[in-house]
Each structure stands twice: as structure tokens, then as C-alpha cells.
Amino acid sequence: MSWDLANYLTVRGCCVTVLCPQPSRPLNTDYSQYSNPDAPVVLDEESIKVVRLPSFAAPESSILARMRESISFGRKVSRYLAREQNMPDVIYLNAWPLFAQAIIARFAKKAAVPMVLQIMDIYPESFTDKLPAFFRSVMYMPLKRLDAWIAGTAAKVLVISENMRRTYVESRGVIAEYVVTIPTWQDEHAFEDIPSRSACCLRYGISELPFTFLFLGNIGPVAGVDFLIRAFAEADIPDTQLVIVGGGASKSDCVKMVQQLNLSNVHFISDPDVANVSVLQGIAHVCMLPVKRGAGMSSIPSKLPSYLFSGRPVIATVDRDSDTARFVREAECGLVGDAEDQAWLVHAMKEVAQMSLEELDAIGQRSKKFGLAHFSKSSGVVRLANTIMQVAGVHE
């Protein structure tokens, strides 16, 4: 998303500098070309100045380490900008919440540089909802006030869903005109020439004969992949398979669960190359979108637009009033059930497995049409760039 934005702003004649951490994810990848522990790594990439700062990295999931990572990046960004002779016209802030955001927001306020704040997920709710009740009660209000302060310093607050917009207006006290909803996008062109399903299956060694349910994304604590595996096992539908693509903190537990349940028709694929997403999703008859209870209200999973562009039906188990549920219902592109409702999901999987290929294709066509209308890069990047340029005082 940020790279698409930077490229488009450059085309519009803007001078763009990207400040980012030196890469650390996924683990065990050679980043020597882009890493220097003692100094920023500065490269010109497609007419964009990219500065990779030597901030602390925490590629493995740990609350304290991730907190330190966020603070370190915020400090590195502020120190880099403080050494610059010319201040930018505008800062587009899309960084880890909440500490990196707060440190950079404080710098922007002190330097009198207008800031556009990008909100991808609502914090502290996304963090505190995972804590025991005592820690949640102690930490929630101070962190919420910090988030409200950060948003209050911004010239514009960009959110990706109407539920998020409502939260920032009603709960954080941000003036409604300052909050702009721009859904995350995917590059729709990457899904234009998807190989046949047979070719997709052959590429990854997956049998094309069984009816295939597919999950693609981060296998983390809120993804609900463990719930999906249990539902698939209970459904026990003949001639079906579940393909799980991705990595994450909960993957090893999910692999163990599959082994304990003796599920020979559940397959894991690891492919970190995002360029292959369309091919991977080409394996599916139906794409699965399970989200743990409470987690679906604060954001829209990035896999949803990707699923839609692939022209596949979607089965989602998410919070009933979430934007994700609303989009699937509006698009008529699949089935929506309550988060973690295993009985419902078992029934839904059995229902779609009985559909004809013609029925599945008709639903998939609705998926693609809705995705192009709401989540395409061609429309999203223009809206985002226009908002930033307006704040910077740049007019065509």
C-alpha cells in the first residue's frame, strides 16, 4: 500500500522519501543488501528515496520486544528528520501503534509539519482484548488516551472501514470531517491472468480432484485457523481437502492439531512471495475467512480483497456487525456466520461442497465485480494521494 502510494505520488511530480525499518521478516532471510546496524541504508528505488533505518527489530512475536521495536523506530525516524535541512511538506504516518506513532506525532507537532495518520487497526483494543481482565482494566484507558492524542494531532486520520471511522469520531473525539475512510486495496492487475486450477494445483503438488477449501494469510492468534481445522474435521465431508497457506505464531500449534486429529486431507503450504498469491488462491473452490470473536470489529483482513479479486466464493466467520461481514453480505459473494460458531461453519462447508461448479462460478463472478468496485488499487491510491496532497497544500 505504501509503495503504491509512493510510486503514484512520484508520477504526480512529488518528491517522496520513504523512512522504514531495515528488513527483518520473515526470519532466516538474507537482508544483507539492505541492512547496516550502524547507519541508515539509503537507496534510490524507482525514483523514490528509500531510507532503511537501523532500529531495533523483533521479528518473533513478543509483547515487550514489539513494544521496544515500535519505540525504537519512532525515535530513529524523529532523529533522522531532525537532521534534515528541509522539513517535508507533509508526513504520511503508517507505523506501528502506538509508541512509534506517538513519538513521530510529537516530532511533527513540534516541527509544525502537517501529518496524515493511517490507521490499519484499532489500538489499544486489538492489544488489550487479548489480555487478562486485570491487565486490560489497568492499561486500556491510558493507551486509549494516547491514541486519542495521536489522532488529535493529525490533519487527517485515514481509516479503512466505517466501523473504524465511527470509533475515532465517537470514542476518540476526532472531528468527523478529519476522518476519511479509504479501504485497503490490492493490485487488481495481479489477478488478471490466473492459470487454470489444474496448473495452480500442479505447481504446489496439491491434488485437484477433491473439493478444496483454502485459507491464505497470517496464521496468528486472531486468525481462527485452529477453529477452521476443528470445523473441517467435524464436517468430515468426503472428497474434500483444506489447504492452509502462510506462516505465523500459531502455525506450529495448528500443524500439531492436524497431526493429533489424523487429518490426511489438510495440507500446509509456505510461500512468502506475494506475487504468487493469485496462483495459490487459484487452487481453491472456496476461500475461508475465519476471525476470532472480537477481532473482526477493528479492521478488514487484507485477505478479503485478495479473495474477491480471485473470483472465489467466500465463507466468513466474523463478528456479525463487522465491516467484513457487511461487505460479504452486500457482495452476495458467499456465506457469513458468527465468529467461532463451529456448528454454523460445519453446515456452511457442507452446503457449498454440494454446489455445482456453475453455482460456484456465479458467486465468484459477484466476488470479483464487488472487489473491483471497492478495493482496486486504481481507485484507492488516487483517493489516498489526493488527501495527502491536499494536506500538503499541493494543487494540480
147 pLDDT more than 80: yes
Taking only the tens place, the pLDDT of each residue in 351-360 is 999 999 999 9
SS (H, E, C) 72-115: HHHHHHHHHHHHCCCCCCCEEECCCCCHHHHHHHHHHHHHCCCE
Residue with cell 489497568: 138
- Mean pLDDT, residues 27-42: 90
CB atoms within 10 A of CB 239: 9
98 CB burial (10 A radius; 0-12, 13-18, 19+): buried
| Residue 343 dihedral angles phi and psi, to the nearest 5° | -60, -40
Q: What is the C-alpha to C-alpha distance for residues 166 and 173, in angstroms, rounded to an integer?
A: 10
Q: Give the pLDDT band of residue 273 (cuts 50, 70, 90).
A: confident
229-233, 249-253, 321-325, range with greatest mean pLDDT: 229-233
Q: Give the pLDDT band of residue 128 (cuts 50, 70, 90).
A: confident
Q: What is the C-alpha to C-alpha distance for residues 227 and 21, in angstroms, rounded to an integer?
A: 34
395 pLDDT more than 70: no
pTM (whole model) above 0.95: no
DSSP assignments along 266-285, one per residue: EEEE----GGGHHHHHTT-S
Domains and CATH numbers, the chain: 2-185+377-392 (3.40.50.2000), 193-374 (3.40.50.2000)
Residue with cell 509512493: 6
296 pLDDT more than 80: no
263 CB burial (10 A radius; 0-12, 13-18, 19+): middle
Q: What is the mean pLDDT of the chain?
A: 94
Q: What is the C-alpha to C-alpha distance for residues 260 and 244, in angstroms, rounded to an integer?
A: 17
Q: Which run of H or E residues covers position 52?
A: strand 48-53
Q: What is the C-alpha to C-alpha distance for residues 286 and 276, in angstroms, rounded to an integer?
A: 18
269: closest CA among 257, 294, 288, 251?
251
- Find the distance separating the first CA and the last CA of the chain, reported in whole Å: 23
**Contact (CB, 8 A) for 230 and 236:** no
In percent, the amount of the chain with pLDDT more than 70 equals 99
pLDDT at 396: 58
Q: What is the C-alpha to C-alpha distance for residues 318 and 292, in angstroms, rounded to an integer?
A: 7
Q: What is the C-alpha to C-alpha distance for residues 191 and 156, in angstroms, rounded to an integer?
A: 32
Q: What is the C-alpha to C-alpha distance for residues 369 and 338, in angstroms, rounded to an integer?
A: 25
Bridge partners of residue 316, in order along the sequence: 289, 336
Nine-digit cell string for 193? 491472468
Q: What is the C-alpha to C-alpha distance for residues 266 and 268, in angstroms, rounded to an integer?
A: 7
Q: What is the C-alpha to C-alpha distance for residues 238 and 350, in angstroms, rounded to an integer?
A: 10
Residues of 101-120 as b/e, b for ≥16 C-beta within 10 angstroms?
A: bbbbbebbbeeebbbbbbbb
Q: Is 298 helix (H, G, I), strand (E, B) or coil?
A: coil
- Mean pLDDT, residues 220-236: 95
- Mean pLDDT, residues 151-160: 97
- Mean pLDDT, residues 214-235: 95
48 CB burial (10 A radius; 0-12, 13-18, 19+): middle
Q: What is the C-alpha to C-alpha distance for residues 289 and 336, in angstroms, rounded to an integer?
A: 9
Q: Give the pLDDT band of residue 236 (cuts 50, 70, 90).
A: very high
Q: What is the C-alpha to C-alpha distance for residues 5 and 182, in angstroms, rounded to an integer?
A: 13
- Mean pLDDT, residues 56-76: 92
pLDDT at 348: 98
Q: What is the C-alpha to C-alpha distance for residues 70 and 124, in angstroms, rounded to an integer?
A: 14
**Contact (CB, 8 A) for 100 and 74:** yes
